[in-house]
């Protein structure tokens, strides 16, 4: 990972510095931080960044957490498009129609439920789905997660998103 970080251009030095510090935010557990890396690096679709960060994340997460973080990226990749469309369309009929999309992994991911919600929120922030951001933030707050913790995950998502554009 250090070799990769050295390849980040000087104009993006802040991103490199932010990545290092954001992975040690006191508001997040190690699992929450690295799971956020996993789900968001998949969401930004940059193969080079994925290769480096997924390998590093594997050193910090067990298999089940990696699976759950990947599942969050996968399901939100679908849901964010569907629910963002419903939100953006001015036709109210779409909001009354069933999604008819399989979403079983939301119940069967096998990871920590709070962490999974946090990861879904981080991917939704990257994908720009306000309805999903609102929904997952609401669930997290109901489960006692603080605004500081939510924002800590979104910080990681923002840096991963920006890094994908420069590497």
- Which residues are part of the catalytic machinery? 129, 132
Which residue has 């699992």 as its token pair? 31
Alpha-carbon span 160 to 44, nearest angstrom: 8
Q: What is the Cα 96 distance to its own chain's centre? A: 28
72: tokens are 């969050």
Rounded CA gap, 42 and 5, in Å?
18
- 92 near 75, Cβ under 8 Å? no
SS3 call for 110: coil
**Residue 24 DSSP one-character state:** T
């Amino acid at each position: 990972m250090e070799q990769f970080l050295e390849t980040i251009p000087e104009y993006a030095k802040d991103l490199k510095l932010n990545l290092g510090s954001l992975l040690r935010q006191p508001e997040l557990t190690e699992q929450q931080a690295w799971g956020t890396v996993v789900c968001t690096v998949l969401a930004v679709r940059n193969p080079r960044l994925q290769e480096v960060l997924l390998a590093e994340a594997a050193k910090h997460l067990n298999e089940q957490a990696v699976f759950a973080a990947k599942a969050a990226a996968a399901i939100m990749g679908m849901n964010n498009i569907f629910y963002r469309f419903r939100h953006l369309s001015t036709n109210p009929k779409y909001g009354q129609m069933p999604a008819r999309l399989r979403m079983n992994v939301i119940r069967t991911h096998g990871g920590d439920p709070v962490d999974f919600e946090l990861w879904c929120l981080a991917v939704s922030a990257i994908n720009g789905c306000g309805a999903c951001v609102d929904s997952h933030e609401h669930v997290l707050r109901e489960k006692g997660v603080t605004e500081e913790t939510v924002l800590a995950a979104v910080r990681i998502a923002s840096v991963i998103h920006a890094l994908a554009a420069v590497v």
